Amino acid sequence: MTDYFKKKSILLFWGIIIASIMITLLIIILHWPQQNQNSIIKVMVKSGSTLNDISKQLHAKNIVSNEHMFRWAVQLMGKEKEIPTGTFQLVNTRSNYDIIKQLVYGAPEVKKVRLLEGWSVKQMSDHLNKTMGFEIDDILKISSSRKFLRRNEIQASSIEGYLFPDTYLFFDGDTPSSVLNKMVKEYKNFWIESYSNRAKELNMTEHEVVTLASIIEGEAIYNSERPIISGVYHNRLNRGMRLQADPTIQYIIDDGPRRLLYKDLQIESPYNTYKNKGLPPGPINSPGAESLKAALYPDKNNYLFFVATGDGYHTFTTNEKDHNIAKKQLQKIRRELRKKKRKK
């Protein structure tokens, strides 16, 4: 019995020693002294960064003096998967614990980016280049990447039309891929069950609805006209007429948007709705929610034509004779505007 208690006492003694050593090591690792303790240093954690990537960056910026100690500290705290994407301003980084606390619980810097309805992938790429610093070619490559399209369950050859226009808050460490993922996710959030059911009622695929919505987006300025314009296009589709939609021509010319010429209407392209019947192969821009809803719920009318009135609105007509009269009125307005400009 005495031997049993002796053994138990020895095990307890060594257990206390080992626990004490472990606690001491934990304290040493967590509170390992760092460099630049009083400096304010920016650190960017990019989307997909590993703990190894982060520790290397911190060491390169002289924030941590020992990469291994920092990694062990993160792992001991169980925070290796809790460091978010973003740009952080680290201050008073006296120890590993201070750094980890600021990375995990600090507020990363965000950028407010507004992406407009009716913008094409190219236009969005230009804007993301200016606001996020992304390379335009990187975005364009992702836009037609089969892997990206498959991962996001997009049944098309490009993400044109599937990037939902909105005002976003992106982290400074976001990548082109993570930003486009967010935009596609917002697009998918639009498609509630009733909208999907409505598309089936119209005997249209989701891709066809988005394509039509993008043309409506290219035509309309005011929300009140979107369902009316949609009604015109639905009427023309149902009658087997060519859509003759100017935005589809703007999409295929290199120097647009500009006033279209007769020769532009002769361009050989599947997107030329003056030469081809039906919808073009895919969307020509990113339509907003109002244009998508207009494509799904067109106004019930007998209109087959419309022409701009010069103030953002349109004149709608049921026959070609009245349509030609409306076109002449627009031409008259344009002539008067040109005269006023010359006088100035």
Tell me, yes or no, whether 314 lies in a domain: no
Give the integer Cα–Cα distance in Å for 33 and 146.
48
Tell me, yes or no, whether 52 lies in a domain: yes
Q: Examine the domain organization and report whether 182 and 271 are in the same domain.
A: no
Give the integer Cα–Cα distance in Å for 270 and 40.
56
Tell me, yes or no, whether 217 lies in a domain: yes
Domain count, the chain: 3
pLDDT of residue 7 exceeding 90, the answer is no
- Domain of residue 66 covers 32-108
Instruction: Please state the φ and ψ torsions of residue 280, each to the nearest 5 degrees.
Output: -70, 175
pLDDT score for 113: 96
Tell me the pLDDT tens digit for each residue of 29-79: 556 566 655 567 788 888 888 989 988 988 888 888 788 878 888 887 888
pLDDT of residue 125 exceeding 90, the answer is yes
341/281: higher pLDDT: 281
Give the integer Cα–Cα distance in Å for 12 and 7.
9
Round the CA-based radius of gyration of the chain to a whole number and report it: 30
pTM: 0.77
Give the pLDDT band (50/70/90) at residue 97.
confident
Token pair listed for 80: 């290796």
Tell me the pLDDT tens digit for each residue of 262-314: 999 999 999 999 999 999 999 999 999 999 999 999 999 999 999 999 889 99
Q: Which of the listed residues 81, 108, 135 is the one where a domain comes to its end?
A: 108
Q: Examine the domain organization and report whether 114 and 95 are in the same domain.
A: no
Q: Examine the domain organization and report whether 145 and 179 are in the same domain.
A: yes
Write the CATH number for 53. Answer: 3.30.1490.480
Q: Examine the domain organization and report whether 186 and 265 are in the same domain.
A: no
Token pair listed for 62: 């002289």
What percentage of the chain carries pLDDT values higher than 90?
59
Give the pLDDT band (50/70/90) at residue 80.
confident
Give the integer Cα–Cα distance in Å for 117 and 280.
19
Tell me, yes or no, whether 100 lies in a domain: yes
Q: Which residue has the tokens 């990469």?
A: 67
pLDDT score for 32: 56
Q: Which residue has the tokens 């043309």?
A: 215
| Interior/surface letters 261-291, b for 16+ CB within 10 angstroms, e for the rest | eeebeeeeeebbbbebeebbbbbbbbbbebb
Tell me, yes or no, whether 173 lies in a domain: yes
Tell me the pLDDT tens digit for each residue of 146-161: 999 999 999 999 999 9
